[in-house]
Amino acid sequence: TVTEFDTDSDVVDGDDTAGYQWGTYSGTVLTPDGGEETIQGKFMWILRHNENGWKVVADIWNSTPLSRGG
């Protein structure tokens, strides 16, 4: 379960009908044992505009491995 999620956009561009956005994300998820784990990575969205507004038509997410002490 995701308990917190934030995005930070590095690039947002496009025109009246289509656009793209990419940046980084971070958040917190609950682990199966009831603990919490921080997640982070990069994302890219491709968007299309229609009469209902902007919709994501394609996306990709890549998580950044977190360093573990030890």
Q: Domain limits of the chain? A: 2-61
pLDDT of residue 65: 82
Percent of the chain with pLDDT over 70: 93
- Is the pLDDT assigned to residue 67 strictly greater than 60? yes
Domain at 2-61, CATH from 3.90.470.10, 1.10.150.120, 3.40.50.2300, 3.10.450.50: 3.10.450.50
Q: What is the mean pLDDT of residues 49-66?
A: 93
Q: How many CA atoms lie within 13 A of 28 on its CB side?
A: 6
Please give the mean pLDDT across all residues of the chain: 93
pLDDT score of 68: 64
